Amino acid sequence: MRVHVLGGGIVGLACADELVARGHDVTAVDRRPGSGASYVAAGMLSPGGEAWFGEEVAFRLGVEATALWPAYAARLGVGLDARGTLLVARDAADAAALRRHLDLLDRLGHRAEEVAADVEPGLGRTSLVARLDERCVDPRAVVAALLGRLGGRVVANRPTEPPDAVVAATGARLPAPYDHLVRGVRGELVVLAPSRVPGHVVRARVAGEEVYLVPRRDGRLVVGATSEEHDRPPVVTAGGLLRLLRAGRTLWPAVETAAVVETLAADRPATPDHLPLLGPAAPGVWLAAGAFRHGVLLAPLLARMLADQLEGAATVRALDPRRFMPDHDPDQEEERCR
């Protein structure tokens, strides 16, 4: 098939790469590939750390995607950080919230092990620490590897030759008439160069404020993540930086004297039910968008599922973009698929 993939973020590039690997004629279209949410993402492959009540489908997708990542990273030639993730609570109220999270993980069969705080000696005072066996990847390295594999197939302007299928993977800004299906939820982060970085990814609650610390192999430390509903272009805000640095310094005191390398903001693409849009939206038009906080984690799985569907596999009902379209009858569609 001749396929145009609109969008050069990690999901769009992963879809394009998967389709090329299956022998399709693919062009990916983006004027600034890899410059959106993929550039700002921390890269935590953490279905357990992201698990939340009422989001079991997203959790199951994350677990399935996690199993793909070792082979996927090897295929791209990028490293996976397998040192694990610490879930940390600062005070008693934070610990109560973390206990609820740990109870949820138990029910989901994704157990975290409680550990002593000295497993990470540079932490500030804590009241509860648990460890998850989860990985992390540098999204910028993944995007660079995908761009290298796709080469001249990534272009700034859409070709005039009509395709057999168009895949819209443009993050939080889908083209009309599908633009109402996603909204931007701003996330901010700061990249620091402290005197020391943690040996684990650290996800924490500090006086009710959620914060994560993601160490990079080059000694940088990524501190995130604010989450704000808004209707303006995503920008770094003074309030967002203040919250991140205050919580980060309390959690990891070396933040106090760290050099500031970057401050970044981008929109996470969110849907009304916080599940991705993956499947046909109209004849010849497919969506691969709306992964919200999970774009890096889900990229290889969404790419595989999209390619399967373009080659004739049934649409996954929970992810079908038409679930938000008033005239769509999923039972009739399932009957046609049979």
Of 268, 299, 316, the last residue of a domain is 268
Residue 336 confidence class, pLDDT cut points 50, 70, 90: very low
User: Is the same domain home to 106 and 214?
Assistant: yes
**Whether residue 116 sits in one domain with residue 9:** no
pTM: 0.94
Residues 207 and 64 in one domain: no
Q: Is the pLDDT of residue 2 over 70?
A: yes
- 288 and 162 assigned to the same domain: yes
The residue range of the domain holding 126 is 85-133+183-268
Classify 103 in phi/psi space as left (phi over 0), alpha (psi -120 to 50) or beta. Answer: alpha
Query: Roughly what angle, to the nearest 10 degrees, separates helices 139-150 and 295-310?
Result: 30
Residues 176 and 191 in one domain: no
Instruction: Give the gyration radius of the chain's Cα atoms.
Output: 20
Same domain, 234 and 328: no
Residue 208 and residue 123 share a domain: yes
Last residue of a domain, one of 249, 268, 287: 268
196 and 303 part of one domain: no
How many domains, the chain? Answer: 2
Q: How far apart are CA 31 and CA 48, in angstroms?
A: 35
Same domain, 163 and 260: no
Percentage, residues of the chain above pLDDT 70: 96
Choose among 51, 44, 198: nearest CA to 111: 51
Quick: pLDDT tens for 174-211: 999 999 999 999 999 999 999 999 999 999 999 999 99
Residues 6+ apart with CB under 8 A from 270: 172, 182, 183, 184, 185, 290, 292
User: Which CATH number is 306's domain given?
Assistant: 3.50.50.60
